[in-house]
Amino acid sequence: MNPSLKPLSRQVVVITGASSGIGLVTARMAAQQGAKLVLAARNEAALQQLVQEIQNKGGQATYVVADVGQEEAVNRIAETAIAQFGGFDTWVNNAGVSIFGRCEDVSIPDMKRMFDTNYWGVVYGSRAAVRQFKQRQISGALVNVGSFLGDRAVAVQSTYCTSKHAVHGWTDALRMELEAEGAPISVTLIHPGRIDTPYNEHARSYMPKQPAHRGMIYSPEAVADAILFSAAHRRRDMFVGFQAKALAVLGGISPRLTDKLMEIWAFPSQQSDRPSRDREDNALYYPGYGLHERGTHQGWIRSGKSMYVQAEKYPIAAISAIVGLGTLAWWFANSLA
């Protein structure tokens, strides 16, 4: 059964990791479009300010202080949504944190802690969302935020890549099971490329230089656009930025070439030119600073929406435009012959 998803303006949306970065931008954009919000994160002060901000602008929102690595905390998010709004229509699993360091240097406890947030948080959130959709017998949307590093691993962020590979596998398996049983639940996996968020500042660093993205970096608004579109339209995958799709394709077609390119590119492109913060100064075990949408990266930071996301949203229009431009180029070339 195909899910019949409501327009965003009529939805109640749950967002984890809502106190900064992608989650923060998604919450603000969803509120602007009329959605009611249930916002979750570990930073209570940031959540309080965000909810007050949304309410001052005429929106409706509530918050839950929750560590998504704890199943009972995730279930409390769902319970709050039911108590406050009678339920929810979309659940966005966005919370995440990273570690920058070589495979042999990162401690096993740090690896396990990251998996609690990045992987188990998605599992707990997915199960809570699906359970409520089924109990209420409604169509719903589950949106899991993966990564282009979940399609192709790179050096320096081994644990993060591994956790996102796990998220991708979980999401694909869950989608197939729900579809096979005819459940009217849309399951979307978001594949962001490099995004300008405080992700690098919240990460635990084992590196000599401060983690940062270099090269082309997309805005968090581009990811939020994909997330919110998926809340109201059934999509299997949404790649944010051409770089995300290109890396997935290249890694599948020519893995050894991709290995070699990554060995050259991964180390310099993931570190800034300043010393790394203290290893204890991060958000792996404790809440990071909140209400910051952007990070401290060094690169070409694009603003606004991703053209690739727009093409995914409206594929027929995109194909028609490409065919039209190709026809025009062919006509022009022949007219000059």
Burial class for 239, CB neighbours closer than 10 Å (0-12, 13-18, 19+): buried
Residue 160 annotated among the catalytic residues of the structure? yes
Tell me how far apart the alpha carbons of residues 137 and 185 are, in angstroms, rounded to a whole number.
10
Categorize the per-residue pLDDT at 332 as very low, low, confident or very high, splitting at 50, 70 and 90.
very low
Rounded mean pLDDT of 288-292? 95
Which helix (H) or strand (E) element contains residue 301? strand 298-301
* pLDDT at site 303: 78
Is residue 313 very low, low, confident or very high in pLDDT (cuts 50, 70, 90)?
confident
Domains of the chain (ranges; CATH) run 8-305 (3.40.50.720)
pLDDT of residue 250: 92
Given this model, what pLDDT does residue 335 score? 52
What confidence score (pLDDT) does residue 327 get?
A: 42
Q: How far is CA 267 from CA 86, 144, 175, in A?
A: 48, 28, 35
Residues 160, 199, 206, 218: which is the catalytic one? 160
- Which residue in the block uniquely carries the two structure tokens 């989608």? 175
Query: In which band, very low, low, confident or very high, does the pLDDT at 111 lie, cut at 50, 70 and 90?
Result: very high
292: number of Cβ within 10 Å:
17
Q: Is the pLDDT of residue 223 over 90?
A: yes
How confident is residue 307, by pLDDT bands cut at 50, 70 and 90? confident
Average pLDDT over residues 122-138: 98
* Residue 337 confidence class, pLDDT cut points 50, 70, 90: low
Whole-Å CA distances, 238 to 8, 148, 173, 233 = 17, 11, 17, 11
Q: What is the pLDDT of residues 151-162, one digit of tens each?
A: 999 999 999 999
One DSSP character per residue, 154-220 reads -SSBHHHHHHHHHHHHHHHHHHHHHHHTT--EEEEEEEE-SB-STHHHHSEE-SSEEE--EEEEB-H
297 HSE (CA, 13 A, CB side) = 25
Instruction: List b or e across 50-70, with b for residues whose CB sees 16 or more CB atoms inside 10 angstroms.
Output: bbeebeeeebbbbbbbbbbbe
48-106 per-position pLDDT tens digit: 999 999 999 999 999 999 999 999 999 999 999 999 999 999 999 999 999 999 999 99
Split at pLDDT 50, 70, 90, the class of 304 is confident
pTM: 0.93
